[in-house]
């Protein structure tokens, strides 16, 4: 089983994440209901086993909780990817959700990068600030050491737009981590 685990404790957050690229149980607790919903969708649509336990300074706001969860999930993903041998490497996916269309493309390259293109019509979804979506994915991509491009082509509802991004990213990652012999690089390594 391709698994990763990472923990991080700061003065602002205490987070442990376990991920299994081949499926398994999902247990999510971040203290932010909508964010829990997004991480559950990410696990379901990626076919990942995912356990996320977060204690954060939510009395301040959700920023540290969301960004730091991205860091820890990224490090756990990096751990699960190991030497990056035996993966399809690339994945892309277009996901429609009602009035919204989101696209995601990923390269498990060892070269961290994020392109994020979305303007949300609402600032908040419940207690979740929509601006945190890009913060989460930036932290995740840089700590997983992957290249990730995310775009909402169009949409009118921030909930649908955000959820479409999480689901599209999960599907693209599922395709990128599919087993394959060797390493997909003319260099012979990533």
Per residue in 117-165, pLDDT (tens digit) is 999 999 999 999 999 999 999 999 999 999 999 999 999 999 999 999 9
57 found inside a domain: yes
Whichever domain contains 21, its CATH number is 3.30.230.40
Q: What is the pLDDT of residue 180?
A: 83
* Angle ∠(140,142,146) on CA atoms, nearest 5: 90
Residue 147 belongs to what domain range?
Answer: 3-176
Domain count across the chain: 1
106 found inside a domain: yes
* pTM across the whole model: 0.95
Q: Is the pLDDT of residue 99 over 90?
A: yes
181 found inside a domain: no
184 found inside a domain: no
Task: Give SS3 for 104.
Answer: strand
Spatial distance between the Cα atoms of 152 and 21, rounded to a whole number of angstroms: 25
Which of 42, 58, 51, 54 has the alpha carbon at shortest distance from 20?
51
Q: Is the pLDDT of residue 7 over 90?
A: yes
103 found inside a domain: yes
Residue 112: band (very low, low, confident or very high) from pLDDT cuts 50, 70, 90? very high
H helix count then E strand count, the chain: 4, 10
188 found inside a domain: no
185 found inside a domain: no
Between 4-13, 26-35, 84-93, the lowest mean confidence (pLDDT) is in 84-93
């Amino acid at each position: 089983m391709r698994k990763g685990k990472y923990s991080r404790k700061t003065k602002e957050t205490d987070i442990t994440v376990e991920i299994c690229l081949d499926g398994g149980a999902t247990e999510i607790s971040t203290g932010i209901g909508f964010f829990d919903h997004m991480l559950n969708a990410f696990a379901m649509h990626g076919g990942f086993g995912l356990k996320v336990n977060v204690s954060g300074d939510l009395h301040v706001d959700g920023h540290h909780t969301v960004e730091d969860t991205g860091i820890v999930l990224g490090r756990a993903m990096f751990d699960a990817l190991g030497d990056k041998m035996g993966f399809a490497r690339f994945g892309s996916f277009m996901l429609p959700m009602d009035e919204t269309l989101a696209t995601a493309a990923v390269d498990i390259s060892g070269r961290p990068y994020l392109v994020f293109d979305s303007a949300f019509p609402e600032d908040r979804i419940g207690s979740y600030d929509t601006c945190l979506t890009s913060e989460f994915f930036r932290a995740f991509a840089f700590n997983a050491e992957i290249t990730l491009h995310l775009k909402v082509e169009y949409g009118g509802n921030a909930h649908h737009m955000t959820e479409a991004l999480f689901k599209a990213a999960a599907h693209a990652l599922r395709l990128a981590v599919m087993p394959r012999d060797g390493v997909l690089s003319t260099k012979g390594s990533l």
